[in-house]
Structure 1
């Protein structure tokens, strides 16, 4: 089990390309009109995948800020370990945030967060990849608990119902190719460097709760603006002006705020995206090295603890399961998993 302390090099320096980044350089779109039409569609669709109001306050009140950070970090590391496409990280983060934002649970436990995280990543992979890892492969690193496949499948169904089966989410990463189509006139290596750097910034942004207040299109433009100012300062104003014209008018003020925060993250050595500052590594009793994992048997995982309005996490047949639990052998007794 690796340390959960923030001493790893999971976001590289700005001058060093991250493996797997810059994969959007080959554009799917053939004309500027096609690209701008697709962008308009994305801006409209994005609204359907936004978080419930007050989500950041919910995270604070439920003491979930540190748990969320660890989850996003786990998504990023799992993507690398399993060689998954980069968009999966952003999709899984969207599922995770949307589920918690609509959840009325006030006593989240450690196993609940980890089970939800595994389900989010598993569903995101199934929607994007051809070769799907086994459920046990998702749980090989950085988790305190180990779940049976049947438990994960039940959690997947709970998650799908809660999200209304709306999974084709629009994330900040969804805008990268659309926005950088305008940069095709640049030298390929420079175009790729800008995309790679912007993606680095977006990976840092989705890990930071301060950026949850902004729309995904605003995050994407802010990341590209920082990348252009860093890598192409002489021509950045022209490209930035073009990007800003594509963003809805009601997002202009937020664009200024978001860019300012992102600039601070890049420039400040304490909170830099390339170092481990307080904002990116919240202190938590969970930041310890764990030598053993806790096996949670399916017969004692109660999904009704996930209180989602309008959904019944436990189907009626589970009332029969509750009766069977009384007769379950003692080796299934995991009724007291620690938070």
Structure 2
């Protein structure tokens, strides 16, 4: 299982702060306003393969530069939201275009989330080297496509809250284990189709090491008032992906 470094625990320890019902309701209402469904084209094998490659590269850079987990998640969110709003037929078969998109999404996420920002020239790929101007042009295209709405909600804001609702004792350890499952699962799930709250709940349930059926997931969610707005089908689907990753770790 991927582990968190001391620096990450220290810098992102705010993830473990207890959130109240009002704050969670506010986050859920923001999700309802900003989230949309992904295009059916995102399920095409060629696009799924290109996306998986881009996500793996982002996660590799996270480790290389010691970036925060929020940064990686936000970068993948930018990638997925961009692909929803833009027809990417022109990128099909053009590996360099997907790579440029992933570099630019990570660069923007770093600017939003990190205190120390690497130079654009440091975001190197194994197969392509992009000029700074090319990355900046792609950044502007991403910004305009997302209408400059770059402050993304992430599952990490929910983890402590949901962990404490599902497990009375040891909820902090449960939340930290859920973090590793989220990072392991984002290659398999589109972050537009799966809202941050859904990803958070699914990761918490998977981290609990219970073998749950769809019915038992529904019962657990129905017992918590703040979970009732969640799409139980999506939660269960995401739970299955998270559970697969947990078994592989």
Q: Which has the higher contact order (CA 8 A, sep 6+)?
A: 1
Unaligned 5+ segments in structure 2 are 211-216
Q: 1:241 to 1:229 in 2, by over 3 A?
A: farther
**Per-residue CA distance 1:162-197 (angstroms, 9 max, x = gap):** 0000011112233224434558974xxx54432232
Q: 1:84 to 1:147 in 2, by over 3 A?
A: same
Q: How does 1:1-339 map onto structure 2 within 5 Å?
A: 12=1, 17-19=3-5, 25-26=13-14, 35-54=20-39, 57-61=40-44, 63-108=46-91, 109-139=94-124, 142-180=125-163, 186=169, 190-209=170-189, 213-229=193-209, 244-249=224-229, 251-267=231-247, 272=248, 274=249
Report the more deviating stretch, 165-174 or 86-95: 165-174
Give 1:131 shift: 1.6
* TM-align CA RMSD: 3.0
Tell me, yes or no, if the aligned pair for 1:72 and 1:206 is still in contact at 8 Å. yes
Give 1:114 shift: 1.0
Q: When the two structures are superposed, what TM-score results if normalisation uses the length of structure 2?
A: 0.81
Tell me, yes or no, if the aligned pair for 2:96 and 2:128 is still in contact at 8 Å. yes
SS at 1:168 equivalent: coil
**How many Å separate the matches in 2 of 1:27 and 1:145?**
35
**How many Å separate the matches in 1 of 2:166 and 2:44?**
43
Q: When the two structures are superposed, what TM-score results if normalisation uses the length of structure 1?
A: 0.61
**How many Å separate the matches in 2 of 1:138 and 1:217?**
30
**Per-residue CA distance 1:267-319 (angstroms, 9 max, x = gap):** 4xxxx3x3xxxxxxxxxxxxxxxxxxxxxxxxxxxxxxxxxxxxxxxxxxxxx
Which structure has the highest helix share of the two?
2
Q: 1:28 to 1:105 in 2, by over 3 A?
A: closer
